[in-house]
Structure 1
Amino acid sequence: MELDDFRRKWQAPPAHPTDSFTTEQTLRAMLASSTSTNPLFRLRRNATKELSWVIMAFILSGFNALIFGRHEVNLQRFAVCVMLMLVVVGVIVYRRLQVLKEMEQQNDSLYSFLKSRISRFRRLMRMHDYVGVVSLVMLVVIVLVVRAEYVLDYLNPAHAAWNWHVATALGVGVGVGAVIYASYTIGKKEHQRRYGRHLDQLEAALRELEAPE
């Protein structure tokens, strides 16, 4: 764990009487460093990469709408919906970068300041997860609306194989639901890998500050 070196310094017997300021000073030094031992450095790097990917996906979606979908209204609408979803995600990622910038500036009351910013960062992570699920559901609804005529004809009771059609539709619905749930689960695990574990390190350091001398 990257904080082990700092913890050993904190827990080592002092050569002279000390107080909580020394521990806080060590934490401030860690947060001000530009090395991989600084959780803020890794958080900022991952958030910057994610924002770059969102921007690239937005550009590709616009290119797809203008070039490949210029004669297909439905494809253009679909691309516009994807672009709107990417805008929302991009705003959330940008807000996370702003929170990280605030954390890097630090504050006189380091403990309460970092604790509130970590809480805000985690709320943005949860919002990102929910936005992803809602966006997938909306995309499914849009596809159903666009293909409504075909879907209604497929489920018309007048068909001889109507029971089979209904069973197939239910199976597809269950499959789509499973894909959405899997996407949500995988997204949460990916967020934990990119951000959550580094926030856990910061919270562990804050617990060191909170612990009685």
Structure 2
Amino acid sequence: MELDNLRRQWQQPEPAQNRPALGAAELSRLLAKKSGSIVDQLRRNARLELGINYALLLASLGLAALAPISWLRLFSGLLVLVALICIYYLTRKLSLLRSLDDPAGNLRAHLLHLTAGLRTLIRFYYHFTLAMLPISALVVGGLAVARVGAHVAPSRLLLVLGVVVGTTALCYWPVARATRWYLQRLYGQHLDRLEGQLRELDDLVPASPV
């Protein structure tokens, strides 16, 4: 019995005893069917991001080893750190998604735990991305001070640091907006669908008589 058919039958004004009983087995079957394609899409997106970050890690390691100048090696080291953190984050995300293959106990409770865990990881990814802006500004500013600090007037140095800080501040809003859109497209919209289907299935279960 399909979810839409069940919803229509429950919305019909007929006696409760004539409505189809939705037992635990039927609910689990519907949950597995409706959530399967969504979880598969989340897995594909996480694997794609994981592959990109592995490529970034290898490229950054190669650049750090071959770069002829110190500031480029330092920047490459920062990219290595970013790639490692993202790989850890995505591995955790895939581990959560794989856990659905063998859910222990109640499938609905397992899906709720899965969506809550993924929401937490997405928030971490969002805040981590925004935190990289001031960190990058600190690295760039430090390199500027190290390279030209002894050769220019303090006022000129302050101007350079002001440009770095100003550029970082100007980039904050568009980066935050782009990151939010990116995460919503890859993960958020699928989690919204999954949570919506869980709520719809809740509506199909008759309330216990008082």
TM-score normalised according to structure 2 size: 0.81
Partner of 1:54 in structure 2? 53
SS at match of 1:78: helix
How far is 1:57 from its partner?
0.9
Amino acid at match of 2:9: P
Letter in 2 for 1:66: A
Q: What is the 5 A alignment of 1:1-213?
A: 6-13=2-9, 17-21=20-24, 22-32=26-36, 38-67=37-66, 69=67, 71-149=68-146, 150=148, 156-157=154-155, 166=159, 170=162, 172-211=164-203, 212-213=205-206
Give the AA of the match of 1:11: R
Which ranges of structure 1 fall in alignment gaps of 5 or more residues? 33-37
Gaps of 5+ in 2: 11-17
Aligned-pair distance for 1:82? 1.1
The whole-number CA distance in structure 2 between the counterparts of 1:153 and 1:180 is 31
| Aligned-partner residue type, residue 52 of structure 1 | G
The one-character-per-residue Cα deviations of 1:70-119 (angstroms, maximum 9, x if unpaired) are: x3222112111110111001100111001101123233212222111111
Shift of 1:46: 0.4
Q: Distance in 2 between matches of 1:76 and 1:136?
A: 19
**Number of equivalenced pairs:** 196
Q: Quote how far apart the aligned CAs of 1:29 are.
A: 2.8
Q: Which runs of 4+ in 1 moved over 4 A?
A: 151-155
Identity fraction in percent: 19
CA distance in 2 between counterparts of 1:210 and 1:11 reads 10
Which whole-Å deviations, capped at 9, do the CAs of 1:110-130 have from their partners, x for residues lacking one?
222211111111110110111
Deviates more, 1:182-191 or 1:170-179: 170-179
Alignment partners' CA distance in 2, 1:58 and 1:187: 20
Distance 1:124 1:112, change over 3 A: same
* Residues 53 and 83 in structure 2, CA contact (< 8 A), matched pair in contact too: yes
- Structure 1 residues 110 and 154, CA, compared in 2 at 3 Å: closer, same or farther? farther
Do the aligned residues in 1 keep the contact of 2:108 with 2:198 (CA within 8 Å)? yes
Structure 1 position 174, deviation (Å): 2.4
Q: For the Cα contact (< 8 Å) 2:134–2:168, is it kept in 1?
A: no
TM-score, normalised via structure 1 length = 0.80
TM-aligned CA distance change 1:169 to 1:19, over 3 Å: same
* 1:130-161: CA deviation from partner (whole Å, max 9, x where unpaired): 1112223212101111211425865624x7xx
